Amino acid sequence: MTASVLTPAQNSVITSVSGFQFSTSSLTQAEVLQLKADFPVLAETVNGKSLVYLDNGATTQKPWAVINRLNQFYAHENGTVRRGVYKLAEGATTAFDAVREQVAGFINAKSSTEIVFVRGCTEAINLVATTFGKAHLQAGDEILVTAMEHHANFVPWQQVYLERGCTLKVIPMSDAGELDMQAYAHLLQSGKVKLVGVIHVSNVLGTINPVAEMAKMAHAVGAKILVDGAQSAPHMPIDVQALDCDFFTFSGHKLYGPTGVGVLYGKYEVLETLPPYQFGGDMIDVVSLEKTTFLAPPLRFEAGTPAIAQVIGLGTAIGYLQAIGLERIALYEETLRQQATDALLAIEGLTLYGQAKHKAAVCSFLLEGIHAFDIGTLADLEGIAIRTGHHCAQPLMKRLNVSATARATFGFYNTHEDIDRLVVALHKVIKLCK
Ligand code: 7TS
């Protein structure tokens, strides 16, 4: 049996991923191939080789369903939202509003009023850092983030703490890439922590952090918690009520949807305490020369014309994922992670960064004596797209004592053969660079 083939028995043995218990089985390789055919880019050739796309952590490819929905909207339905009485505007408003409901269902929010549309995960976190900072942070307060944050969940908090005279503290991690929960408990004991920011799935290490437990601990000392779900929402079922997080953020383009749209979930009672982020049309109640009153959430946070087509396209992407089933996707990607981990560790001179017990399909690595950029460039010659660099996580790179890594990140359309191709390419890289 080659590594590319999983028997049905192997497919169904995995019943738990990151604490979720599933009764469903993984996607079969035949199903994956069928789904892959929905993504036109994946049929492209690069440098004369069929494309193997392994940079899903950066952005994902789009299925025809999403591409066609965007075309359909712009060709036949284009209109503005919330301000027209004519058919096109009403139709666009109905379609736009329906996605807010759909997103609420997708992450199990209590209500669609807890869903704010933003430009992406980065904007979602900036929105929270800025408005939460204004409303709730004062000199002496503490913000906690982890040692493995993406810059998107680090730099905004750094700006806020500098502006407001707070303190920013870092929850340390082990060499395997697991958070030190004892240190976290200790940090919370100061009694000054107001906000915890944590990456749900590390974009470098793949670690799946215990965010439900972290939320419970944060709440016990009166702190709020923001979960950066950029790398989790596309790959596993999300239930914000079960996680009990105060904020959850993700990007459309990493979820097989369009760029330019993302989601900020906030518990309604928390969103209500926050001032507006930006000002202008669509977020106001009454404007006079002297003063302005603002709408309630979520519209309070959506100044100006939103990304209408992108929101509608995001709805299509979510529908596409739901039709497959996020549980099945998580189970299948776990088989990719296992295969990739075993295959990479078998390569002499390869160091794999991130070996947490609970891990998603993210593999960061280096080959002894070879720069990450050379690995990426030579892999591209083989038609393989992987990311190289610091992955917008420079403090983490420092912790790992490297300046850059190569990184393969998987999506449900990746096949076991893709991993075989990566391994062959890496052996070629080693030969060339010796
Ligand atoms: N948070 C995490 C965990 C991320 O991985 C990223 C993007 C972001 C936030 C920012 O998302 P954006 O859509 O607002 O840009 N991560 C990556 C990556 O790993 N490679 O390219 C982008």
Sequence spans of domains, the chain? 8-37+325-433, 68-322
Express each pLDDT in 248-288 by its tens digit.
Answer: 999 999 999 999 999 999 999 999 999 999 999 999 999 99
- φ, ψ of residue 45 to 5 degrees: the values are -110, 145
Name, in order, each residue with C-beta under 8 angstroms of 260's C-beta and a sequence gap of 6 or more.
119, 120, 252, 253, 307, 310
Express each pLDDT in 82-117 by its tens digit.
Answer: 988 999 999 999 999 999 999 999 999 999 999 999
* pLDDT score, position 268: 98
pTM: 0.95
DSSP 337-403: HHHHHHHHHTSTTEEEE---SSB-SEEEEEETT--HHHHHHHHHHTTEE-EEE-TT-HHHHHHHT-S
Q: Does ligand 1 come within 6 angstroms of the Cβ of 119?
A: no
> Which residue's CA is the closest to the ligand 1 atom numbered 2?
230
Q: Does ligand 1 come within 6 angstroms of the Cβ of 407?
A: no
Largest CA distance in the chain: 75
> Which residue's CA is the closest to the ligand 1 atom numbered 22?
58
Position 354 pLDDT exceeds 50 = yes
Express each pLDDT in 330-348 by its tens digit.
Answer: 999 999 999 999 999 999 9
Report how far residue 279's alpha carbon sits from residue 341's, in angstroms, rounded to the nearest whole number: 48
Report how far residue 176's alpha carbon sits from residue 69's, in angstroms, rounded to the nearest whole number: 42
> Which residue's CA is the closest to the ligand 1 atom numbered 6?
230
Give percent of the chain with pLDDT exceeding 70.
95
CATH 3.90.1150.10 fits 8-37+325-433, yes or no: yes
Q: What is the DSSP letter of 3?
A: T
Cα Rg, the chain, nearest whole Å: 22
Q: What are the angstrom distances between the C-alpha of 396 and each of 135, 172, 218? A: 30, 10, 23
Report how far residue 220's alpha carbon sits from residue 169's, in angstroms, rounded to the nearest whole number: 18
> Which residue's CA is the closest to the ligand 1 atom numbered 20?
58
Position 429 pLDDT exceeds 60 = yes
Identify whether 298 is preceded by a cis peptide bond (ω within 30 of 0): yes
Residue 175 alpha carbon to ligand 1 centre in Å: 22
Express each pLDDT in 197-247 by its tens digit.
Answer: 999 999 999 999 999 999 999 999 999 999 999 999 999 999 999 999 999
CA 387 to ligand 1: nearest atom: 20
For residue 231, the cross-strand partners are none
Mean pLDDT of 18-35: 78
Tally of CB atoms within 10 A around 49:
14
Q: Does ligand 1 come within 6 angstroms of the Cβ of 228?
A: yes
> Which residue's CA is the closest to the ligand 1 atom numbered 18?
58
Name, in order, each residue with C-beta under 8 angstroms of 30's C-beta and a sequence gap of 6 or more.
none
DSSP 29-81: HHHHHHHHTT-GGGG-EETTEE-EE-BTTT-----HHHHHHHHHIIIII---S
* pLDDT score, position 2: 30
CA 201 to ligand 1: nearest atom: 3
> Which residue's CA is the closest to the ligand 1 atom numbered 15?
122
Amino acid letter for position 233: A
Residue 363 alpha carbon to ligand 1 centre in Å: 15
Express each pLDDT in 292-320 by its tens digit.
Answer: 999 999 999 999 999 999 999 999 999 99
- φ, ψ of residue 228 to 5 degrees: the values are -85, 105
Tally of CB atoms within 10 A around 294:
17
Q: pLDDT class for 9, splitting at 50, 70, 90?
A: very low
Question: Which CATH number does 68-322 carry?
Answer: 3.40.640.10
* pLDDT score, position 23: 55
User: Tokens standing for 173?
Assistant: 């991690």
Residue 53 alpha carbon to ligand 1 centre in Å: 17
Express each pLDDT in 367-425 by its tens digit.
Answer: 999 999 999 999 999 999 999 999 999 999 999 999 999 999 999 999 999 999 999 99
Q: What is the DSSP letter of 173?
A: B
Report how far residue 423's alpha carbon sits from residue 283's, in angstroms, rounded to the nearest whole number: 52
Report how far residue 105's alpha carbon sits from residue 256's, in angstroms, rounded to the nearest whole number: 18
Are 341 and 350 in contact by the 8 Å Cβ rule? The answer is no
Q: pLDDT class for 434, splitting at 50, 70, 90?
A: confident
Name, in order, each residue with C-beta under 8 angstroms of 66's C-beta and a sequence gap of 6 or more.
256, 257, 258, 313, 316, 317, 320
Are 378 and 432 in contact by the 8 Å Cβ rule? The answer is yes
Residue 323 alpha carbon to ligand 1 centre in Å: 25
Express each pLDDT in 167-181 by its tens digit.
Answer: 999 999 999 999 999
Name, in order, each residue with C-beta under 8 angstroms of 125's C-beta and a sequence gap of 6 or more.
152, 153, 156, 197, 226, 228, 249
Indicate the top mutation candidate among 55, 59, 60, 121 to test ligand 1's pocket, ranked by most ligand atoms within 8 A of CB: 121
Residues belonging to the active site: 392
* pLDDT score, position 83: 85
Closest CA to 252 of 66, 51, 53: 66
Residue 122 alpha carbon to ligand 1 centre in Å: 8
Position 20 pLDDT exceeds 80 = no
Are 255 and 278 in contact by the 8 Å Cβ rule? The answer is no
User: Tokens standing for 420?
Assistant: 């075989």
